[in-house]
Amino acid sequence: MNKPISAAPRKSALRKPPMALTEALVARTLRAVEDAGPTPGMVYMTDQDYARFRDEILASAPAGPLKLFAYGSLLWKPAGEVRGGERAVARGWHRSFCFTVQRFRGTLDQPGLMMALDRGGQCQGMVFEIAEPVADNLEALLRREMTILPAVNVPRWLRVSTEGGMGQALGFVVDPANPRYAGKLDKPKIAATLARAVGHWGSGAQYLFETIRHLDACGIRDRNLWQLQELVALEIGRADIR
């Protein structure tokens, strides 16, 4: 798999203070967690479901290369092969820890929180081109982002702006009608969850740390995430989270 190419960091990004959430603090949140498997009561997507979503996306795609808007873990773990990379802004959406998970980065006993695009504001991210074979790489992406029906993190064509102008890119946005949608949570509550929740993919604190680190490599600063990492660092430092 090709790694996404990050844009060069801006000079202003080089002068900012270091993160309060360090690798050492993140390491305190990590522990071996066995994958408990499918969550009881959940309906998991089938091969036919993935094929249906894939074909619907391809049928509705704008002309030209299929573009992907990455704003979180897709920056460093896109699933499937992507090419290029340029900074972009999706207006009308913002990245938010807004849905709960009981697997991957959480458990039944300690659910975690994951990010999606939620309504309002704007989000700076990166646009990549999904490489050939597009259908295969798109399905790999869907299998990573979507596991349960009804899906909480749903694909949608977004209007994004880059230095080259306006265009459309595929992004994943939260469905506010989904039972796993957590709504707008205050930062201390999010921080307390991220400092404690961990699953077989890793911890919430690790997910936040990697997102900020890779955004930084692209020259992108998210003020809300920067404030959140300070709270998570404090939460880890003051509590016995194991």
pLDDT reported for residue 1: 45
pLDDT above 50: residue 171: yes
Once rounded to an integer, what is the mean pLDDT over residues 187-202? 97
Q: Is the peptide bond before 133 cis (omega within 30 degrees of 0)?
A: yes
Q: What is the DSSP secondary-structure string of 38-58?
A: SPTT-EE--HHHHHHHHHHHH
pLDDT reported for residue 121: 96
pLDDT above 90: residue 49: yes
pLDDT reported for residue 240: 62
User: CA nearest 101: which of 29, 227, 187, 202?
Assistant: 202
Write down how long the chain is.
Answer: 242
Three-state SS at 233: helix
pLDDT tens sequence across 93-111: 999 999 999 999 999 999 9
pLDDT tens sequence across 131-163: 999 999 999 999 999 999 999 999 999 999 999
Query: Would you say the pTM of this structure is higher than 0.85?
Result: yes
Once rounded to an integer, what is the mean pLDDT over residues 63-69? 97
pLDDT above 50: residue 14: no
CB atoms within 10 A of CB 83: 13
Instruction: Give the right CATH number for 11-238 from 3.10.490.10, 3.40.720.10, 3.30.465.10, 3.40.50.2000.
Output: 3.10.490.10
Q: Is 63 exposed, middle or buried (0-12, 13-18, 19+ CB in 10 A)?
A: exposed
Dihedral sign from CA coordinates of 124, 93, 101, 113: positive
pLDDT reported for residue 241: 58
Three-state SS at 152: coil
pLDDT above 70: residue 46: yes
pLDDT above 60: residue 8: no
